[in-house]
Each structure stands twice: as C-alpha cells, then as structure tokens.
Homo-oligomer: A and B are copies of this chain.
Amino acid sequence: MTAPDPPRGFPEAEHRARLALLQAAMAARGLAALLLTTEAEIRWVTGFLTRFWESPTRPWFLVVPAQGDPVAVIPSIGAELMGRTWIRDIRCWSSPDYADDGVSLLAATLAERSPPDAEIGLPMGRETRLRMPLADWLALSERIGRRRFRDDGGLMRDLRLVKSEAEIEKIAAACAVAGRAFARTPEILRPGLPLSELFRRFQILCLEEGADQVPYLAGGAAPGGYGDVISPASDRPLARGDVVMLDTGLSRDGYFADFDRNWSLGPPAPEVADAHARLVEATDVAAGLARPGATPADLAQAMRAVLGGGEIDVGRLGHGLGMELTEPPSLIAADLTPLRPGMVLTLEPSIPLGPGRLLVHEEVIVVREDGPQFLSPRIGPGIPVV
C-alpha cells in the first residue's frame, strides 16, 4: 500500500510553470514586478530549501520581473545553495551589514528590472508577512524613485492554494510518514510516562518513519478530554482514564503533514466515545462535500451541524496545508473561496466536553474533480483504546 517516496525537489519545468502562472497574474493586476521575502514564497518560485531560515538575522529577497527570470538578492552565505536551483541571476552581499543589509542592492535590482513608474507587488494581505526589518522597507520605499509598492492583491495566496501533482505527492508522502508514526504510537503509550517524554518519543517515531524534521507537535492528556491544543507538554505522567491526543506538523522535502490522533488509556467514558464518533462523522461529512465549487464555508457549516451546539473558540474548523503547517483557506463562515482540484485541506473539528475539556480530530484531504481523496489514513468512529 505504501507508495515509494517521491524524488527530492522538483524539475525545472515545475518552477517554470509556476513562474508563468505568476507572471500572468501579475500582468492581470498591472504589476511590473513582485518582491518576495518569506521562506515559502521564495521557495515556491525557486525551490530554495534550507533550514537556515530558522536564523532570523538575515533578510532574503526575490525579485520577479514582469518578463524574464527571477533575480535572487541574497546573503552570500546562500550563494552556493541558490546556485543549485534553476535561478541563474543571483546577487549577493555580505550579510549582516549594519550600514546596508541588502537595501541598496535590492533597490538597484528593482530599478533595473522595472520601469520608473512601476507598481511593485508585495504580499501585504492576510496571512502574509514582510520578512525584513520594517525600517529597511521604509528606506527601500524611498530609494526606488517613483516606483511604489502595493499589495499583490492576494496573488501569491491564490496561486499557492492549488497544489501541483508533484506537490500533492510530497504532502501525501509526509502524511504517510505521520500515519506510520501514529500507527506505532500505542507501542509507547503507557500510564506513568510523562507527557513531555511522550512528545519526545513520538517525534522519534516520526523521524524513524521518514520525517526530515518535526517543526510542530502539540497535544494533551487528561481524564475525559484535554484543556487546550497549543500548549507545550507538561511533565505530568499519563494515567489510566486519560484521553491522549497528539497533533503533529512534520515535514519531508519541504512539505507538511498536519493531523492528529486520539487514544483512550483504558475504556473511554461514554461521552468521550460519543464525541470521538461525532468528530469522525464531521470530518467524513465535510470530506464528502469537498468538491469543486463548494466553499470552505460550506464544509464548516456541515461540520457544525454534526457537532451540534457548544462553543469553544479555536477560530476555525480546518485550513490549507502545503509548504507551511497552515495555509489558506480557513474553514470559517467568511471563507467563500471556491474549491478547486488540487487544494489540500485539513478538516479539524473540535467538541467541548465541559469546562476546560475538549476533543479535537483532524484529517487531510485533497480536492479532486470527482471528490475528495484522503491523504491521512482515514479512521473509523471508535476511539482507539490502549
């Protein structure tokens, strides 16, 4: 059943296809250039993959002109690795430079690659960040003549919403790793084990099963439901009667898996068993609706109908997934993005079980022409008992 792991990276043709989409969208919005500063945005265009972004010191820039190939304006420490991507125009400075950390080089590149009155797109909208010092961006804005930055109009967000088949293969491979790690978790679950130690051992399972890294892990353990879903692990030992949940965001070749699993240590309380069955039903119902033309709002509404009343405000019932742990869209009433084939979504309903207690379940699907395909190993309604 296990598909072989897809090869690392992408062929140049994949990146050239993305560039063509990007430049068409830029033309439609009247953008003469686009400036990208974040890891995922730069990697989506170039394929530049490194864990070095964990260091916040240095800014990295990519300039995408209206025509022609992108220009990387980067610290010299990245020259060799960027040189192994398909990008040929790579301009470096020695960073950190306290007097001028790439601003002059970037201003000159923008001036060279865009007309004097250019409107330069920059992702400014929801879920975006500017990954450079704000003072440097303000200085840059003064150093590009009559050119002006403006919001890219969600252009990068829209393009990244739909994954290519090669991207879906990578997400599927990451989800398969997580599925194998979850399948082995009962080996390590036992009363007395501190939750913090469970977190460590689960990360080891993820690595043993093929994760490159485990950037995200959350979870909880408590009788009849855990308290929240974002806390770091305490040293509290697991106890019989606990519901245990682990929610991993592991990555392989730069693409994420993100889903969770619950276990009951000993027979579950009836309300826990009921809640688990209802959560699985909610994900199944939402998956069934995940066809082209439906919206994230439709899926959220369908899940809420199954979940019934009760409020616990975690903000949404799922999200996009890909190069980042969470990506657009959001499964909320306000998100009316029409689903398209190739969108990868997590379905993540939760049920409150009393003061400070809840249960959460999460699966990953990809939208196909003829319906959903589960990328996480689909489970039945019964909460696994250890």
In the complex, the answer to whether A218 meets B122 with C-beta atoms within 8 Å is no
B200 touching A208 by the CB < 8 A rule?
yes
Chain B residue with minimal CB distance to A356?
Answer: B80
Residues B200 and A207 in contact, CB atoms below 8 Å apart: yes
Report A301 CB to chain B, min CB distance, Å.
16
CB within 8 Å for A334 and B203 given contacts A54-B216, A76-B315: no
**A258 nearest CB neighbor, chain B only:** B55
In the complex, the answer to whether A51 meets B98 with C-beta atoms within 8 Å is no
A126-134, A278-286, A376-384: which lies at the B interface? Answer: A126-134
- A78-114 contacts to B (CB < 8 Å): 78, 80-81, 92, 94-99, 101
Query: Using a CB-CB cutoff of 8 Å, which residues 158-174 of chain A contact chain B?
Result: none
- Measured in the bound complex, the distance between the Cα atoms of B55 and A217 in whole Å is 11
Which of B57, B315, B326 is in CB contact (< 8 Å) with A75? B315
Q: Determine whether the beta carbon of A50 is less than 8 Å from that of B232.
A: yes
Interface 1/0 per residue, A207-248 and B, CB below 8 Å: 110111111111000000001111111010000000000000
User: Does A385 sit within 8 A of B, measured CB to CB?
Assistant: no
Any chain B CB within 8 A of the CB of A67? no
Q: How many residues of A contact B (CB 8 A)?
A: 80
Check if A204 is an interface residue, CB within 8 A of chain B: yes
A233 surroundings in chain B (CB, below 8 A): 212
A51-B232, A56-B326 given; A200·B212 CB < 8 A: yes
Chain A residues within 8 Å of B, Cβ to Cβ: 8, 49-52, 54-58, 75-78, 80-81, 92, 94-99, 101, 122, 124-138, 151, 196, 199-201, 203-204, 207-208, 210-218, 227-233, 235, 249, 313-316, 319, 324-326, 330, 332, 334-335, 356
**CB pairs A–B below 8 angstroms (11 shown):** A50-B232, A51-B217, A51-B232, A52-B230, A57-B127, A81-B228, A92-B313, A101-B126, A135-B151, A196-B212, A200-B207
